[in-house]
Structure 1
Amino acid sequence: MIETISTNASPTSTSSRSSSPQPSNSTSTCTSTSSSTTRRPHSEVIETLGATTSETKDGLRKINNYLLKKEIGRGAFGTVHLGVDTNTKTEYAIKEFSKSRLRRKEQSDMLRKRGGIGARGRGRGRGIGLGVGRETAAAAAQPGSSNPLDLVRGEVAILKKLHHPNVVKLFEVLDDPNDDSIFMVFEMAHKGVLMDISLDETTTPYTEDQARRYFREMILGIEYLHNNDIAHRDIKPDNLLLSNDNVLKIVDFGVSEMFIKGNDKLKKSAGSPAFMAPELCKPRHGEVSGKAADIWSMGVTLYCLVYGHLPFSSTNLLELMDKINNDPVDYSGHKLSDEILDLLHRTLDKDPATRMTMDDLRHHPWVTQHDTDMMISEEENCEWVVTEVTDDDIHNAIKSIASIFTVVSFKYKFGNL
């Protein structure tokens, strides 16, 4: 899957929660500042500069206290491992990136931008990750800044504040200054993707009751992101993973963007074409609502869950865009309740101005089973809200920085572990 990760490792802070990995090197402990109404959780991301890579007598590699047991994914810039904390025996998904490859990619991107060549479109993929689009992170760090240090500081400051049970968690970043690798430690979602969807195949659909459970968790996670002024922009079953206890985790923030408080208008198209909203499939479309585009993608995802295939499909990109823009959605072939059909009609409204909102979704009769199973309130769901990223947050996000910054493309899928 495509994701954007800009990071450097250095010792900063961690919380005292027992579920978090223990710091490999000495760290200083600090807490996030509280807003006027809400206390934010402690930062749980450990940044370890000066980590040590070693090899066991069995030929397995270790990075500090993490044993890399086996490879579970591979991409252009690195590898994803099933990792185990030898102290706690907890399993993690550990991404290993090549710093030299990342530097070359950064240099190539800079040359292409100077030459007036636009970034290439992003394709489909599967995986796990947590990041925020580098351009918007830069704006959060320092408007108009192109300093890679500001890009990294802005991203890490934001990542530290995201704290939700339905958003995948980044625990630690480790950098070995004597090795070409940098590592990111994520929580492990052992059951993998919610559904494996391809353009030209049909898979076994979920029942409405099963789909409702996961859709409700998707609502809570996306609502939390929107309340933090983040448009995900690539919602699809591939980017929804399941933990061992069947909790849905939203992953892959590689094309996500932060928007200005109160104004979710975005200009660029991004994400997987089959899940993109009609307003993004038009040339020179201008500004579009990031929230409305996410709602459309949620509707396409729900359609996949209960039908087992995409509502619009073509191997030809232009034909696919035309279908999304002009073709009606086919609701035949499955016996579904009137309530879910109403929800699908309203989320897959081609007009973003009349499309369902998040508030409409959380109160829809199908979601709440006619008010017999109400969602938790928006206030409770978004209790740990990132109200702003302050200058202090950015300054303290990374105390010391190595020469690593880039856009990372990564594609993988969990196998059976």
Structure 2
Amino acid sequence: MSAIKETLSAYHAENQDGGFKLNQYDVKEVIGQGAFGVVHLAVDTTTGTQYAIKEFSKTRLRRRDRESQMRNNRGRVAGVSNLWGSDDDALNDEDPLRLVRKEIAIYKKLVHPNVVMLREVLDDPEHDALFMVFEMCMGGVLMDVSLSQPCEPFPVDKARRYFGELLLGIEYLHANGIVHRDIKPENLLLTEDGRMKIADFGVSEIFLRGDDTMKRSAGSPAFMAPEQISVDCHTYSGRAADIWSMGVTLFCMCYGKLPFVGDSILSVYKAIREDVLDLPQEEDPRLQDLLTSILEKDPEQRIEMAELREHEWVTDSGRVPLLPYEQNCHRVEVTDEEVKHAVKSIHNVVATIRALAHWRR
């Protein structure tokens, strides 16, 4: 397992190109934007290695987790994680990062060839910024597909390879009590050598004691499972919903389009709940069986991970077997000390950066 590097000091400096430095990271241009903040390209000046630094809003992260805690207070489902002690403690604790600290500690320990690795977290306690340093995936997103934008499908061997890597990564997360909840091609990144890695844990949930019961929906509408958007379903299995999203992603890889579409989000939801899966008649019967089994609208009848990893299409009838479960799914344990030190403080770095930017103007 690769060690997470911890630095002993924090400092800042202005760069000639208008960027800034956080510890040993030379932070450069913005390369992306998400719901919680922007993503910068950064270089570790001690090694020359490139990283993606996500700048998050602590207020938004804290609000997300406080809302989750309050929902659980109104009717907790047994087994859904309460990672920070009692609910009252979580809501009243003066530490603004208490609600994300253990989640960060767990993600720092997730080391898998098909999961984007979090290297470290840097915090300015005086301001709203929280910086997460991730490995850089230079190959970009797996594919760019949407309701209005189909794309070129992958050859069957490439689709099989990427789906196998997705399966191993999600299996590893599930074994460690994490449901991703937003699996889609946009959140699957490629390394320079073509390996696929799962990214973006912004709406993920942690579950305990094997009970993955979820009470609220999250994710991208076209990739959500029928049970997540059913007015009659108040709880659902997070793992089963992840498997559905894997099926939608596989359909995109094989056909370059989404399986269920509509002119609005409501019409997409209606198609997900009611439309019959349309597959080409000439398709490989193994792929037909796989997609039908994954995109089964009844989560109780949907294929599960243990059967999925042995499916004939996934393994090409045994010619390309996956890594055994025991080798793929080492368990992650997090100590109290690791939780305590999950976030590194950067005193007043952000204030200084803003002052420098104002001075330059």
Cα shift at 1:395: 3.8
Q: Return the match for 1:225 from 139, 163, 173.
A: 173
Identity of counterpart residues, as a percentage?
A: 50
State the partner residue of 2:322. 375
State the partner residue of 1:95. 54
Aligned residues: 335
State the partner residue of 1:44. 4
Is 1:311–2:241 an aligned residue pair?
no
Cα shift at 1:56: 2.6
Identify the structure with bigger relative contact order (alpha carbons < 8 Å, sequence gap 6+): 1
Which amino acid letter does the alignment assign opposite residue 302 of structure 1?
L
State the partner residue of 2:298. 351
Cα shift at 1:214: 0.2
State the partner residue of 2:27. 68
Matches within 5 A, 1:17-416: 41=1, 44=4, 46=6, 51-75=10-34, 78-97=37-56, 102-103=58-59, 105=60, 139-144=82-87, 145-146=90-91, 147=93, 148-175=96-123, 181-332=129-280, 335-383=282-330, 385-386=331-332, 388-398=333-343
* Unpaired runs of at least 5, structure 2: 72-79, 349-361
Q: Over aligned residue pairs, what C-alpha RMSD do you find?
A: 3.0
Distance change in 2, residues 1:289/1:74 (3 Å): closer
Cα shift at 1:361: 1.1
Distance change in 2, residues 1:181/1:294 (3 Å): closer
Cα shift at 1:267: 1.4
* Unpaired runs of at least 5, structure 1: 1-40, 117-135, 404-417
- Give distance in 2, aligned partners of 1:226 and 1:110: 20
- Give distance in 1, aligned partners of 2:313 and 2:325: 18
Which amino acid letter does the alignment assign opposite residue 109 of structure 2?
K
- Give distance in 2, aligned partners of 1:301 and 1:174: 33
Q: In terms of mean alpha carbon deviation, does 86-95 or 168-177 score higher?
A: 168-177
- Give distance in 2, aligned partners of 1:185 and 1:391: 22
- Give distance in 2, aligned partners of 1:299 and 1:107: 32
TM-score of the two chains, using structure 1 as the length reference? 0.73
Distance change in 2, residues 1:247/1:208 (3 Å): same
Distance change in 2, residues 1:149/1:345 (3 Å): same
Which amino acid letter does the alignment assign opposite residue 268 of structure 1?
R
Cα shift at 1:198: 1.0
Q: Note if contact 2:189-2:196 (Cα within 8 Å) is conserved in structure 1.
A: yes
Cα shift at 1:112: 8.8
Which amino acid letter does the alignment assign opposite residue 46 of structure 1?
E
- Give distance in 2, aligned partners of 1:69 and 1:401: 18
Distance change in 2, residues 1:152/1:250 (3 Å): same
- Give distance in 2, aligned partners of 1:172 and 1:371: 39
- Give distance in 2, aligned partners of 1:400 and 1:67: 17
Cα shift at 1:65: 2.1
- Give distance in 2, aligned partners of 1:382 and 1:114: 29
Distance change in 2, residues 1:96/1:266 (3 Å): closer
Q: In terms of mean alpha carbon deviation, does 374-383 or 260-269 score higher?
A: 260-269
TM-score of the two chains, using structure 2 as the length reference? 0.83
Q: In terms of mean alpha carbon deviation, does 82-91 or 271-280 score higher?
A: 82-91
Distance change in 2, residues 1:151/1:377 (3 Å): same
**For 1:359, what is the secondary structure of its paired residue?**
helix
- Give distance in 2, aligned partners of 1:218 and 1:76: 23
Which amino acid letter does the alignment assign opposite residue 354 of structure 1?
Q
Which amino acid letter does the alignment assign opposite residue 223 of structure 1?
E
Cα shift at 1:102: 4.1
